[in-house]
Structure 1
């Protein structure tokens, strides 16, 4: 039934004229004066004056009132002014049919024009703020931009150029040519910004993408982002100026920042910041700050502050750390580290927290490095001393770390019944200052001892605890002395005198399997140099 009434309306509002060779619609000029009439009636009146047939469905026209005051104008020219933008016409001979734009709606529009101040401005960045299509002006200041047509009636165009004020204009959503004038910025000193990844190897981010964020202050936002690689994705070539909430990068992605979740098959690169969870198959790279959890197969590189957790197969880097770094290779903090570093090798310029690794390095520390080899350059603990005890008369002891926890490396020899006894050992210790400004050290070491004769070589184990007091009258040279508690492990099958170590005495002796344990209290005496590796 509705189709019947539509056809009926078309017939009722159709006006026929004699066929003619020339197009009255496009070429015949008319004069018409009529005020306050319905749009549909006005169109039929124009057709009557121009002498052509007009057909349309009244339902497609708005219920609006118009006034006609034209002279020496063609019907086509008048139609362009009075018809809504979503109505188009088809001319068939002497007939004109009006239709609503639907099936042939444009998918894209072209915005072109010129950017200038007094003269044309070249290399100005021009982009559409919704679809992120972008381009640069040429040497004549001209540009051409193909934009996906938005659902709204307006489209936003933003223009950026170093030395000029940023410009944002709203244009009708149609193909058009515009001229945009930029204003100069007032000259003033520009503070130097922190490194924020304005230069990245082109292997990961093409130059055509990087150049769009050089000296540009625009900050755009998209909740979701999907990319194959930088420049191929929903952010197009504008990734360096776009902040996302959720990002999925099939191979890799590049953005101004990400606030919640970012996952990359190979890499994620954020020019300014990242927060939340960031996971990459190879690496995560953040220009200024990160807060959350970073997980990468190879490494996480943050050139600003990291607050949270960094987990990497090989390498973690931050300017400063408030949290935890765990890697299978190296953790690096170029400023202060508050928290925990766990890796085979850890470095922090200023260690406030703790390091756990094989090698721990720091320029200065108020925290504690725990590992096999720990060195703190400025306020660390290091000493080299010669010591003697009841088994090995001459020993060289090297200590390194911080007063609250340092490593000990020892080597020396003794002599018994025409046989040399050799020892090497490792241990840990702590140093505290007493009220009388003397230092007291608690140390625990394990030594491997062996005695060689012409027939064979015999091995022993020695666990030793020391309580040492130091004379602090001299700044560099230290005299240390104190008691030791010793436990010697040797085979109980070594019953020949030549294979047994001769102990001063034994207050406890027992067998544990094929081992014989002997305990005694001894004395340690040493003289050495403290802080000999620390610059004055």
Structure 2
């Protein structure tokens, strides 16, 4: 009677598990399709069944044409018909995973004996059609997280302890349909609150194993389990590990996500959903959540959420939403959001949102939105925020924030502020502010402030000692005025604002003077060939000795009349204010304050007058 009750409980439990597992595959659908692409047919089945497929498009011939006419068949039957029984299907949440499995295998049980304390199963895995043994097949009990791998003759032996549920052995092998065999041990069926659950993780879960460190440290058995079992992952509350091959989950550790894992040296797991501490290293094939620490390095194949700390480096193939610290470097394959500190190097494969700090190099594969500090910073596409480079900042796309560099800022386009000790270079359009000793913009629509300002086309404002617009405003004026009969000035920049380098002289005996200085002007178009050029300038006046400070400050308002494409005439009034400390004439030099004195000031060193200028302008 006792055995019968246990059998009934087992059957009820089995049927409930089966009903849950097969709920999607057992749904009925109707298909009337004639020569349509397989990919479209799968989409129709998804719509009718209200679920999603997951499959490798490289293996599934989605472009092949299929025909099926049946008004009452379940999803599993429909898939068998259109895929010719060459695939197997498993449910994970609201997904049906299609796995290429054209062959079938069989578990031949040699012995199954034991009790709740210890149960032993031995057997052999063989090919169903060829009756040949299958080596390297994965045999595992997912609730107990116990696994074995068949030997070269297909044999295995498994010891199960502390059994509280009916035993279900799953056998998986690449290109074979998985099979489940149930064993009725003498147990009291109970529901365990912490029972292991299974879920499916899509994507390439072998990326970690392809890295140099992953290939070197992950055991052969763990690699075989990854190939055979793929994305079907179990969850467990705890793992203790000495090395990847010596841990509480055995070769199945790479298929288990742990709530907490303590690794005396290092471990290989499917992921972490709580915390992980590795005194030397941690390797996880999928996601890590909340906290991870390693004395040397963390290597993660999925995404990281929370905090990740390593003594040397962190390498994440996926993305990161975390605070991440490494004394050596951080390498992120996808996007990052949070706070990142790397002693030598930080690399982000995609976008970065947050704060990034390094004593060496920072590289971002796409966009920065935040704050970046390093000796050298490189952004592939776009920068929005603050970028500080002890040496230099390079943005291959558009800079829309602020750049500060000890040597230089370089970008393709800029719409923010670029400040550099040496120089700024914008290959295309600069709409913001460039401040440095040397500034260059392919097309200036903003402001340049420096000693030398160069632009291909200048539609903005260049303020400096030398302003050159290669395809912009260049003029040379030759003229005379009331103080110096011979004057030459170079005007360069833009119509909005150009600067002037000015030289003048009076060689007449007794009135000899030499002048040189800088000025700024603006061209205002009036009508036709007429324009007005208000200009301000300041020139040093040499009157025979360098011991005196003599400054001639002017405001001029010349009218320009264009004669032809290359020549214009100009003339107009000027207001002059002259400051001098020289009251004694030297040799043949004169004193300007004695020659012109229309109005005076309280300061005896100041004098002023109304003047004029006329001349030619070479355009």
Kept in 1, the 8 Å contact 2:347–2:364? The answer is: yes
Report the TM-score when normalising by structure 1: 0.60
Query: What is the distance in 1 between the residues matched to 2:578 and 2:112?
Result: 122
Q: 1:76 is matched with which residue?
A: 122
Cα distance, 1:527 vs structure 2: 1.0
**Which of 84, 89, 98 matches 2:161?**
98
CA distance in 2, matches of 1:522, 1:342: 36
Please say if residues 532 and 557 of structure 2, whose CA atoms lie closer than 8 Å, have aligned partners that are also in contact: yes
Contact 2:302 2:316 in 1 (8 A): no
| 1:375-422 CA distance string (max 9 Å, x none) | 1122x2111121111221111111111111111111121035446311
Contact 1:222 1:242 in 2 (8 A): no
Change (3 A) 1:402 1:87: closer
Contact 2:318–2:333 at 8 Å: present in 1 too? no
- The answer on 1:294 being equivalent to 2:387 is yes
Deviation at 1:433, TM superposition (A): 0.6
Verify the 8 A CA contact 1:287 1:304 in the aligned structure 2: yes
Q: In the alignment, which of 420, 431, 439 is matched to residue 346 of structure 1? A: 439
2:567 to 469, 473, 477: 477
User: Is 1:447 aligned with 2:539?
Assistant: yes
Q: Report whether the alignment pairs 1:336 with 2:429.
A: yes
Aligned residues: 380
Decide which of 333, 338, 358 is 1:264's aligned counterpart.
358
> Does the CA-based 8 Å contact 1:403-1:432 persist in structure 2?
yes
Q: 2:315 matched to 1:315?
A: no
CA–CA distance in 2 between the matches of 1:526 and 1:283? 51
Question: Are 2:180 and 1:86 equivalent residues in the alignment?
Answer: no
1:227 Cα deviation from its structure 2 partner: 7.6
Tell me whether 1:464 sits opposite 2:554 in the alignment. yes
1:409-452 Cα offsets, whole Å, 9 max, x none, are 11121035446311111111111111344011111111111122
Matched residue, 2:598 = 507
Q: What pairs up with 1:90-489 in 2 under 5 angstroms?
A: 98-99=161-162, 133-135=208-210, 146=218, 170-172=231-233, 175=251, 221-223=303-305, 232-235=313-316, 239=331, 241-246=333-338, 247-257=340-350, 258-280=352-374, 282-378=375-471, 380-418=472-510, 420-452=512-544, 460-489=550-579
CA distance, structure 2, for counterparts of residue 334 and residue 510 of structure 1? 50
Counterparts in 2 of 1:290 and 1:129: CA distance versus 1, 3 Å = farther
More relative contact order, 1 or 2 (CA 8 Å, 6+ apart): 1
Distance 1:289-1:149 versus aligned 2 partners, 3 A rule:
farther
Question: How far has the Cα of 1:293 moved from its partner?
Answer: 1.8
The CA RMSD measured in Å over matched residues stands at 4.5
Classify the secondary structure of the residue corresponding to 1:248: strand
Aligned-pair CA distance for 1:346: 1.4
| Deviation per residue, 1:55-100 (Å, 9 max, x gap) | 629xxx9xxxxxxxxxxxx84349x9795552669xxxxxx88247
Moved more, 475-484 or 233-242: 233-242
1:528, 1:54 → 2: CA distance?
Answer: 108
Gaps of 5+ in 2: 12-109, 125-137, 148-158, 165-171, 176-201, 235-249, 253-300, 320-330
TM-score by length of 2: 0.53
**Hey, what's the Cα distance between the residues in 1 that align with 2:486 and 2:493?**
24
Between the aligned partners of 2:140 and 2:389, the Cα distance in structure 1 is 61
